[in-house]
Amino acid sequence: MKSRNADDIEVRQVAAAGTEELMTFLLAHYYPEEPLTAGTHPPEPEAADKEFLLSNVPHGTCFVALHGGRIVAAVVAGPKDIHEPEHMAEEAVKYAGGKWGTILHLLSAVETATDVCRRFNVPSCLHVHALGVDPELRGRNLGGRLMEAVAQRGRELGHQLISVDCTSVYSARLVQRLGYQLINTLRYVDHLDASGQQLIRPPPPHESVQTFVLHL
Ligand SMILES: CC(C)(COP(=O)(O)OP(=O)(O)OC[C@H]1O[C@@H](n2cnc3c(N)ncnc32)[C@H](O)[C@@H]1OP(=O)(O)O)[C@@H](O)C(=O)NCCC(=O)NCCS
């Protein structure tokens, strides 16, 4: 799947052979700024986090934007079903104690609160896990174009819904512009550990994770 615009950006589905290049891009331009990754220690993502993102590639639901043959933006998405809240809770327990476990603790709380498949009575949903744009090319709607490529793929696969937990104010603004509906907000100051301490401390201006959906 390819699409090329007048500005010489090519949007391409990530194939199995492209996983290493995808991860190289994510490590350079997604993880360092992504608020949950930036708001937990150490700065680098854990292996299980990276493995999880790459495990979505075989679904054909991950896309990159290329400029002069170089990746300048990427989106990672994958399917989920009505069992996702229970699945996320199990994953959070499995990885508890480390950086990825801390991130999953928050994402599991969000999944339990939103429960999108049951809430909208759909058998499945395509969930966007990661979106990143090279800082040099931000503000050119590359994130929007990749989100549209994912939505189109979602329709092809028969999903009736697409969801995204926007951990960044920038991604939240972006999906609102695309017509997504806000269904939940969890402020980082309100997500506490067992001793009442704030678990994740993203840098400003990020204050909350906002979940949005779009009906396909
Ligand atoms: C979220 C993200 C992909 C959006 O990038 P994008 O698609 O270029 O965003 P937009 O086209 O909507 O940009 C709109 C405006 O916000 C600015 N902007 C976007 N992301 C920005 C950022 N991280 N920091 C500062 N400004 C940013 C753009 O420059 C643009 O400004 P302009 O209107 O003055 O031109 C990008 O911020 C990013 O890669 N962030 C790091 C990873 C991350 O946090 N991902 C989201 C997790 S859910």
pLDDT at 158 over 80: yes
Q: Among 138, 166, 175, 176, name the best residue to mutate to test ligand 1's pocket (greatest count of ligand atoms within 8 A of Cβ).
A: 138
User: 4 lies in a domain?
Assistant: no
**Domain-located, residue 15:** yes
- Residue 139 resides in a domain: yes
By DSSP bridging, strand 63-67 and strand 70-81 are antiparallel
- Residue 6 confidence (pLDDT) above 90: no
CATH number at residue 31: 3.40.630.30
pLDDT in tens, 64-93: 999 999 999 999 999 999 999 999 999 999
Predicted confidence (pLDDT) at residue 17 exceeds the cutoff of 90: yes
Q: By residue range, what is the domain housing residue 31?
A: 9-215
The answer to whether residue 3 is domain-embedded is no
Rounded to the nearest whole angstrom, what is the distance from the C-alpha of residue 142 to the centroid of ligand 1? 9
pLDDT digits (tens, 9 = 90+) for 26-62: 999 999 999 999 999 999 999 999 999 999 999 999 9
| Domain total of the chain | 1
Half-sphere exposure of 192 (CA within 13 A, CB side): 6
Residue 138 lies inside a defined structural domain of this protein: yes
CA 161 to ligand 1 centroid distance, Å: 24
In-domain check, residue 121: yes
C-alpha 97 to ligand 1 mean position (Å) = 31
Q: Ligand 1, closest atom to CA 143?
A: 7
The alpha-carbon radius of gyration of the chain (Å, integer) is 16
Q: Is residue 1 part of a domain?
A: no
Residue 152 located in a structural domain = yes
